[in-house]
Amino acid sequence: MTSISRTAACVLTGLAFLAPHFAAAQQTISLDEAVQRALGRSTQMLQQDQMVDNAALAERSA
């Protein structure tokens, strides 16, 4: 076996062992869950929630 063939065989063997890991790395989620995750990480949504909380507290104290 030449060194190029040996290298190619090693790379292909490594990819064969890692393929299931790469396939399992992606998690399937529903559209609703994706939207909830996006909204939960949105800084604008967090700021708006804080403003609603502040308005509710101001209304109670008034």
Give the global pTM: 0.41
Write down the pLDDT at residue 37. Answer: 87
- Beta-carbon contacts of 9 under 8 Å, excluding residues fewer than 6 positions away, are 1
Report pLDDT digits (tens) over 5-38: 788 787 778 777 776 666 556 788 899 999 888 8
- Beta-carbon contacts of 29 under 8 Å, excluding residues fewer than 6 positions away, are 37
